[in-house]
Amino acid sequence: EDKVVQSPLSLVVHEGDTVTLNCSYEVTNFRSLLWYKQEKKAPTFLFMLTSSGIEKKSGRLSSILDKKELFSILNITATQTGDSAVYLCAVVSNFGNEKLTFGTGTRLTIIP
């Protein structure tokens, strides 16, 4: 069974802090890893990672993948209250019959 594990489950920090969210996975025929942000209802897409060691960056958010150690991290620098959300990691696996498996999510709370 494909497995995606995120840590920590919950994190509370002060505005301006830097946070690192973790995602490890065990899947058959890895294709790509996706990060999403979920504030209320529909998750919104952040990053897609397919190659090891290549950092993806968008403003204060960045992410990197390690396919040898089977994990990814999502970094958020200079956090703001608007960053408060659940961050979801997902892995696409299989060929021709792609399956999208999500982790449990990390609930990030930013205190003003």
Strand pairing partners for 5?
24
Q: For other proteins, what does the binding mask look like between residues 30 and 69, x meaning CB under 8 A?
A: -xx-x------xxx-x--x-x-------------------
# residues near other proteins by CB under 8 A: 26
Q: Is 107 in the site for other proteins (CB under 8 A)?
A: yes
- Beta pairing class for 106-111 and 10-14: parallel
Per CB under 8 A, the list member of 12, 78, 80, 99 interacting with other proteins is 99
Please report, in angstroms and rounded to a whole number, the separation of the first and last CA atoms in the chain.
41
Q: What are phi and psi of 82, to 5 degrees?
A: -70, -10
Q: What are phi and psi of 81, to 5 degrees?
A: -60, -30
Q: Is 104 in the site for other proteins (CB under 8 A)?
A: yes
Point out which residues bind other proteins (CB under 8 A).
Answer: 1, 6, 31-32, 34, 41-43, 45, 48, 50, 88, 90, 92, 95-105, 107
